[in-house]
Amino acid sequence: MQTIVIANPKGGSGKTTLATNVAGWLAGKRQRVAIDDRDPQQSASGWLGRRPALFPPIAALGPEARRKDAKVLDLQWRVVDTPAGLHGEELREAAREADQMLVPLTPSAYDMVAAERFLATVAESKAVRQRALPVGIVAMRVDARTHSATELDEFLAGFDFPVIAHLRQTQVYVWCARVGASVFDLPRSRAEQDWEQWKPLTRWVAKHADVREQRTGNR
């Protein structure tokens, strides 16, 4: 099983949107995937509860039996939606258990200030320093025509972590959240633009999954 941790210390950064859509993409690829919802607000769990049965299945991992449930479900992927305020030992533990980490970030001065110390802490973690944990930044709710989007790109240029995708601000994600869908459950006519924006992200995830399998297969 591979674990993707979605992390950002600030609430409202897009963690749940990213987690549910990553899980939706994996499910659409016929992967056995579950969401491990650690946010006290349980937004991802609510999304799962609204998900129509006809969509590709995504399991839920309960907080009291994560390891047992994962084994019973024979999962290939676990997507962890972390709580706001993640720091200290909780952050280090999340980094230790992750095979990949995605950091959503919106073009907001408040978000950038909150993310600066977080990204510095992540960079100092043992897993990152030993290059065992790939970390990718995902720019969320971005309008490339705005000054704030330019400021976000300039801010992120100061870190070694790659910006792997820019996802637009659109009501499509709002609608998906409301009905338990991901953009990958939608028809091409409605979501093709978003699928294109997701391609660099899904390729990054797939590439690092292949690298991990090669490493573990050679042990």
* Each residue's pLDDT tens digit, 158-196: 788 888 999 999 999 999 999 999 999 999 999 999 999
Q: Which amino acid is at 210?
A: D
Confidence of residue 121 (pLDDT cuts 50, 70, 90): confident
- CATH number where 100 lies: 3.40.50.300
Tell me what pLDDT residue 153 has. 81
- Whether residue 218 is contained in a domain is answered as no
- pTM (2 decimals)? 0.90
Q: In this structure, is residue 27 part of a structural domain?
A: yes
Number of domains in the chain: 1
209 belongs to a structural domain: no
CB atoms within 10 A of CB 70: 19
Q: How confident is the model at residue 101 (pLDDT cuts 50, 70, 90)?
A: very high
Give the SS3 label for residue 189: helix
Cα–Cα distance for residue pair 9/41, rounded to 1 Å: 14
Closest CA to 182 of 58, 4, 73: 58
Q: Specify if 67 maps to a domain.
A: yes
- Let me know if residue 9 belongs to a domain: yes
Read off the pLDDT of residues 16-30 as tens digits, 9 standing for 90 and up.
999 999 999 999 999
Assess whether pLDDT exceeds 60 at residue 91: yes
Q: Which domain holds residue 111?
A: 2-204
For residue 218, is pLDDT > 60? no
With tokens 């459950």, the residue in question is: 185
214 in a domain, yes or no?
no
Q: Is residue 216 part of a domain?
A: no
Q: In the chain, count of helices (H) and strands (E)?
A: 9, 7
Task: Supply the pLDDT for residue 46.
Answer: 96
DSSP class of residue 31? -
Q: Once rounded to an integer, what is the mean pLDDT over residues 94-118?
A: 86
pLDDT tens digits, one per residue of 2-56 = 999 999 888 888 999 999 999 999 999 999 999 999 999 999 999 999 999 999 9
Within-domain flag for 213: no
**Secondary structure class of 166 (helix, strand, coil):** strand
